[in-house]
Structure 1
Amino acid sequence: MKIALIGTGYSSIELVRILLQHPNAELKKVITHSQGGKELQEMYPHLASIADFSLEDLEMDSFRSGLDVVFLGTPAGVSGKWTPKLLDLGVRVIDLSGDYRLKDPKEYEAWYKKEASLSYLGEAVYGLSEIYKEEIKGARLVANPGCYPTASLLTLIPALKEGLISHEGIIIDAKSGISGAGRGVSLSLHYSEVNENFKAYKVGIHQHIPEIEQELSKIKMEKVFLTFIPHLAPMTRGILVTVYGRRKSNTTTRDLIELYREFYRGSPFVRIRGEGSYPATKEVYGSNYCDIGVYVDERSDQIILFGAIDNMVKGAAGQAVQNMNLMFGLDERTGLLQTPIYP
């Protein structure tokens, strides 16, 4: 597969790392809208003698050379302008931005404060690999999920789909490392502001809220509203979500573990913990795994679910490559079997 990558942010550079190890992928070019002419290793010295790419300007001529797939690691509002042109050239697209995740254009414009792209929106497949595997296999355009939605949805969907947890009053308490904010500079991301600090942000206004609600509503076949509170943790990588919901039956912790193991049978990147074991971000660091733990608090009649991912891998670049594998008929594990880095 001949591949082009648009973007040079953290998710894009994680894609470079993964694609260079992929036995069926050939990264042909890295394209940027602001750094044309630079060497990639100037921006990221860790790639010296590994990824010798001269960055190309974002122009249509860059895509007329027999490419099979383009990854867009661009800010919101950019993909919607370029994806229709790429599809018209016969190139498949995997979009890591939010431009094609929301099916309602008005929702997109309200949450992202950008004009929605209507071209090919109906064709876009939401790329949550474990849930929409068959749809992804035949897709030309995949909307790669956000990092928080990936962790939240994989953690919550089995219990919700099987009717074990109420769809009303769900709370998702989420923590992320600072790489999720990208490489841009802002006061809130300075070392002095982040180190030895822990804080909530974008309370009630995070753009991933409608994405999570959209997918849960589709699973439940009725509208789901939830409370989602993201927090910034003083670490580079990782997301841990803790989900709280009301139990709807006499399900026990052991019942829930068995349900989750059966639900994700055949999903190589989802690992379900045993009773009394709960995931940690360090245990998925640098990998495409999502680790899930469950607990039924019979005293309070609550179901509590835990999910951990590396936001740069399973929450972005790794899942994008997993989707690419499915789109091109490969084993979804190809190029993604890196063992988590520990400690």
Structure 2
Amino acid sequence: MAKPQIRSFYPEKDSLNKGRSTVTYHYTSPTGVKAILGSHSIRFTDCQFLNDKSEYIHIHKPLMRALEEIQEDLFDNSIPEMIRSMFNDNYETELLVIVPRSDIDPKLKFRYIKQRYYIFCTSQQRDDLNMWNYYVKGGNYQGYNLGIAVNSILKSFSALKNENIELLYGNVLYNESEQIRYIKEGILNIDHSLRDELEGIDKIQWGDNIYDNAKGEILDFLEGARLFFKDQAFEGEKEFRFIIKLPIEYAKRDHSVLSVGYDVKGGIIVPHCTLNIEKASFKSVTLSPMLDKKLAEQGLNRFLTDYGYENRIDINQSDIPIRY
């Protein structure tokens, strides 16, 4: 049975930063760390329900700049207008997939699969005041972060048996010039592949299908990119994201590795999907600057022992000096 797709959002940067072999840090509340370690699973939130609503539309400014700069270099000069008319801010997207040919029906066919995007957010920084500030309660810091091996998450995801599910991972891009460059390279690569594919074929018979496929690839590329673009004001967070592209029909079935569910947050029912991962995926727990560090560490140690993590996870204290 076919495997899901796993790919780096930005392979060039991933190879420089050794993305798969790194440990990344998920900041969460005491309730969150208890739930994650207790179930050895991580939760991906539907992108429509992110705290910052502006994230989803941030891509439009660098996208328009990129289209202006590549207009003269495109083989298919209708691409910019296609993007302007078809790339929208709907949270439910459609993936164009090729239906395999057969002896009975040798014609090339396509179909659309409706899908949603789910996000799990982490940071490259183990001990960052900006991140701890999200977990201040009653004037005190009450947060934890979990060090999780990137490769372990990818390994758990690869156990799925569905080629229409995809996992993207990588660093968020904050610099607008870098965002523009990324968009330009992606669109031009697809455009050049379109030109090469059209050479030497019967354009009357196959041309429309190949054009449609290329346009679907561009829209899919942009849908993925928008979830890794943020305003430069948030650059200090150094976010590392995991994005699951999940067919809507998947939620109607029962699954052991990846399941779809709902939670309540701020009075709103929030859809999410949960990925089960191995206990060995968790490498460390860091405690935020706290008043009673000793008691917090003792409670955590007992919890880890009872849940089978004894001697498996490093416990660290934040090194940030806080004045109360």
The interval holding the TM-score normalised by the smaller chain is under 0.3
Larger Rg computed on CA atoms: 2
Higher strand share: 2
Higher helix share: 2
